[in-house]
Structure formats: C-alpha cells, structure tokens
A and B are shown apart, each in its own frame.
Chain A
Amino acid sequence: SQQGEEDPQALSIQEGENATMNCSYKTSINNLQWYRQNSGRGLVHLILIRSNEREKHSGRLRVTLDTSKKSSSLLITASRAADTASYFCATALDSSYKLIFGSGTRLLVRP
C-alpha cells in the first residue's frame, strides 16, 4: 500500500471558498511535499515542509504537519477556477531519500 493517503479523494467547491486536503502517512519522514497536477501533465511542486516544522505558508497556500499523528493538511484560501487540478502529497523518507506519493485529491473549483 502507498505511504501517503489523501482525503478526500475528490472535492468540489465554489470559487472564493477555501479548500482543505489531508494527507496521512505511515513511517518516519525527512519532509513532506505537496504537488499539483493539471490533467495528465507533469507534477508541479507547491511547498515543502520539514519534519521539524509545524506550519508553512506560500501565497494562498497553508500547510501544516503533525508528526505525532503522521498527518498533514493543505489549505488553499480564496480558491479560483484555475486551482482546479489534482493535488498530491509526497513523503521523503528519513533514511533513504525515497519520495513516495499518495493517491491524490481531485479538486474542482466551480466559477
């Protein structure tokens, strides 16, 4: 089974609303990363949070990390139609530099 599991699998919101996606993982990590993918294209890195960090911001993105619960969340504030995409978390394992992806959340932002 995959290291990272995202929740929900799909999310539909109105433009202007906030979108929250969650990621849970199983083993000790060096860092956790979030990516975006538009319709079968290459993934684009959004933000990286290290295991000793609890929260990080980048523009309209806010990521939290709770290593005790082995979970992370990605919040996109004031969503736009252009945010429609699939979002993936990826965990960089502590000991080996493996980068393992979850199954993703499909976000639809309705205009």
Chain B
Amino acid sequence: EAQVTQNPRYLITVTGKKLTVTCSQNMNHEYMSWYRQDPGLGLRQIYYSMNVEVTDKGDVPEGYKVSRKEKRNFPLILESPSPNQTSLYFCASSSTFPGQAIIANSPLHFGNGTRLTVT
C-alpha cells in the first residue's frame, strides 16, 4: 500500500531534549516536506526537499533541522525543543516537485501526523 509513514504518532518531551520525528514513503517520491499545524494558523511549511541531499527552508524553519540522505526518508530533527514547538506535524510527499506534480496529476500525500508536546 502506498503511504507516508510518520513515527511516533504522539510524543511528549521536555524542553531541550533532542528528538527526531521520522518520515518514510514507499512511493519512490522525489519531493518531501514537513508542515506544522497550529490552532487558528492552519498548516505552515517547515522544510522541503526536492531530492536526495537537496533541502530548503519553508516558512517556519527556526528550531528545526532536516536531512535527506536517501529518497524514502526525511526525518525532522529538533535539536533543543521548546514549548512553542508543541504542535501537530505532518510529513508529505509527491512524485515530483509540487508545481510539476500538478501537471503530472499527483497531489501531495500526507502522513497521519505526529502530535508533539514539549513541556
């Protein structure tokens, strides 16, 4: 089954304790991205990756790191989490760069989300 898998689904941690949220897709997609969802703000992009070893900042990258060492995985790293990073996080992937994906008739596939609480 084609899917984007995030782990964990729920995570409670304390300020300053490094954590990683994993994201893996089995569709051989080139494009992957991370969003965070906050009440009253909708979803905002954190980082995206067009392909292996190619990553770039989205709208809210502060406090986050990503890596894309292989096509299927795109982990989100919080080196020193703070309470303002408490949020619902979504990973997404697409067969091509979203602009091209439209033409190729391939919408963004989202994972099921990771609810992170930083105390």
A complexed with B: no
